[in-house]
Every structure is written in C-alpha cells, then in structure tokens.
Structure 1
Amino acid sequence: MNHSIKSGLRQITKSRNGYTIIEAIIAIAVCGFGLAIILGLYGMAIKTEMVSKNIFEQSVEINSIADEINLSLKETSTESLAERVTRVLNSKYPDYRLEEVSKDSYINLYKLEISHQGQNSLDKRFHIKVFWRPNE
C-alpha cells in the first residue's frame, strides 16, 4: 500500500510542471489592481497634505492679524476701532481688508469681519472678536 501512495504522488507532480497562461494573467491582474489602489491612495495623500498646509498657513496668518489688532487696541489713541484695524491691515497685511465692525451683545466686545481675496479670485471671510473700550 505504501508503494501505491508514492506512485500516485509522482503522477500528480509530473502532471503539473508549470503555470498555465490563465493563471499568469490572473496573477498579473491581481497585482495591477493592488498597485492601482496603492497609487490612488498615494495621490490622495499628496492632495490632502497640500490642502492642510494651506489651511495651516492661513490659520497662522489670521492669528497673527488678531494678535496685531489686539496689541494696537491696548495703545491709547483717538482713532476709532475701524481706523485702528485698517491701519494694522494696511501696514502689514495688504491683501486683507476690513469689511464690517459690529458690536456684540456683551459690553466692549466687537466682531470684526475681515476678507481676503485668495487664489482663484475667491473672497474668504474671517471673523475676529476683540475687546475694546473706546476712549470716553
């Protein structure tokens, strides 16, 4: 009985000497599909990185503008709030402009609407809240 098992294995191994063309085509298709998915994810990662970099840079710039405005409001002056904000924007941030100053429901709290003309001619608007006590 031991002899018949060995001869059966020899027949199986001898009958399969290599891959068929169908198996090779399927293997190439599976590898190509996997590679296409990986490259697609890589492209998406690059786009996401570029968008997040732009958002971060703009966030840093807006925070710098808010800090500059708050510093200018601590100085004593006869200028109005809009004049002070416009002076800060014109001196260091010429791409930004003050659109609106509105008083919030709290005492001495003002909301500034600042716009920036970005790429593709899109007008982006930002809101900054500041405390300001006008000279009386």
Structure 2
Amino acid sequence: MSTPAGRHTRTCPCGSGAAFARCCGPYVGDGLPAPTAEALMRSRYTAYALGVDDHIFRTWHPRTRPADTAPDPSLRWDSLEVLEVSGGGEEDAEGFVTYRARWSTPAPDHQRGELRERSQFVRRANRWVYLGPDPQF
C-alpha cells in the first residue's frame, strides 16, 4: 500500500497500536470521514507526524482555519496520548478530546517538548472537523 508521503507502512503513528492501513490510513490517505472526534484527532496527529498538510487543511473548520496549515518540518512528532474523550461519538454533534503530544527537534538543538490541548470538534456537513482548542482548558 502506498502511504502519505511514502513514509509509513507499519504501526500507526497515533499510538493506537493498530496498523496504519487499518487505523488512520483511510482518513489521512484516502480522505474518508472519521466516525468519531477521537478518530479524527488521531488522524490529524498522524497527518502532522507524516507531514500530510491536505488532511490537516480539510479537517479544520473553515471559520477557525489559519491560512497556512502546513506542519513545521523541523518538528518530529514522537508520541500521542489521549487523556480524555467527552462526546464526539457517531451520533453526537460536538466532542472534546484532551491529549498530550510529544515532539522533538533534530540535532544540533535536540529540543523536546509537549503540546497538551483539549480540542473541540464539531460536525459540519456530516463530517467531524477540528474547531480549535477549548478556550476554557
């Protein structure tokens, strides 16, 4: 199977432990809609990890989407941990996913950090989209 950016053929970067082709691959590579807010969040993390801007762009609500959604090529996304999910099921209109994503930069800097966010997702045209960080988090 050809994968986005041709770089990932084994375990999905989202941390689920599943194969990419059976996890985020259909959403990131094929553009299929994610069934839940958590699945969309995981696929967006995977798109950042693989550098697939198209998926990030099309899954960001147009009202809050910045002009440039391209992932920072100097960051390597190392791990994702989903901490809490509220709503966001197949029948819901809104959902929140709290996560921690760890990143690093290559030599010579060797910086490490993490992003922790409670992301808000909404349904738009019957597809989950990322609205933005929960301002109350």
TM-score by length of 1: 0.31
Greater gyration radius: 1
TM-score, length-normalised on structure 2? 0.31
